[in-house]
Amino acid sequence: MSHTHNRNRPLTGLFLAVLLALYAGPAHAATNMPPLETFIEQVQNGDAATVRGIYAPGLFADAVAQQPRDDPSFVSSEEDTVTQFGLAASYGSIGLLAHNSLAGQNFFALRAGQIFLLIYGDGSRAAFRVTRLLRTRALNPESIRSNFIDLDTGHFVTAARLFDSVYDQPGRLILQTCIEAEGDPSWGRLFVIAEPYAEGDPGQPLLFEAEARGYGSILNLATF
């Protein structure tokens, strides 16, 4: 996908609306993961251009829903389902959103160096490795104009700068959900940032560990 760097984009209101939309009711119980090949059969629909699932060995296997064209702040309330963020796609990255009381709760189990798969509609797969977990606190959680504090550095960041640093990065994949704290389900935001993974990259021992636990043919994870 071509990438156009446009600083005049109308992002702030929509982006902040999404930042506020990731909490929805009681948490759901964890379920057993299907084998990789079974999961691929469950989610594929023949469309090679559409992301249909995300598979993190030993952690979660979730379907991917697409946002309606007329509802760019939509986030699915279905269990075991994340939503692809259309605005991110327009900047060349892949954003996956989930409520922190539903599929988003699983994002907190990811760690730097872990590898997971995206599943496309034709059954093909793409591997990604987690490179960073960015945690931020919303200074005004209920406002679409809220600014943020980076919890690792303590630095102040505006919504526009946060969007640029997270989503305006072609090829990157981002998992986003809310952080619940101090009795507020929208207290902060978690961004799990991942980059494309190719066989032989550093971090491959994590794949062998997953294979030893019986999570599928890890040697073929990066075969598209």
Tell me what pLDDT residue 139 has: 93
Strand extents, DSSP E, 36-172:
51-56, 60-66, 81-84, 94-97, 115-120, 125-138, 148-150, 156-157
Q: At what angle do helices 159-167 and 12-19 cross, to 10 degrees?
A: 80
pLDDT band for 29, please (50, 70, 90 cuts): very low
Tell me what pLDDT residue 33 has: 87
Which of residues 170 and 8 earns the better pLDDT score? 170
- Global pTM? 0.78
Tell me what pLDDT residue 143 has: 76
Instruction: Report the distance separating Cα 73 and Cα 80, nearest Å.
Output: 19
At residue 132, does pLDDT exceed 90?
A: yes
Tell me what pLDDT residue 145 has: 76
Instruction: Render pLDDT for 88-122 as a digit per residue (tens, 0 to 9).
Output: 998 999 999 999 999 999 999 999 999 999 999 99
Which of residues 127 and 206 earns the better pLDDT score? 127
Which domains are seen in the chain, by residue range?
Answer: 27-220 (2.40.260.10)
> Are 198 and 152 in contact, with CB atoms under 8 Å apart?
no
Which of residues 224 and 129 earns the better pLDDT score? 129
At residue 219, does pLDDT exceed 50?
A: no
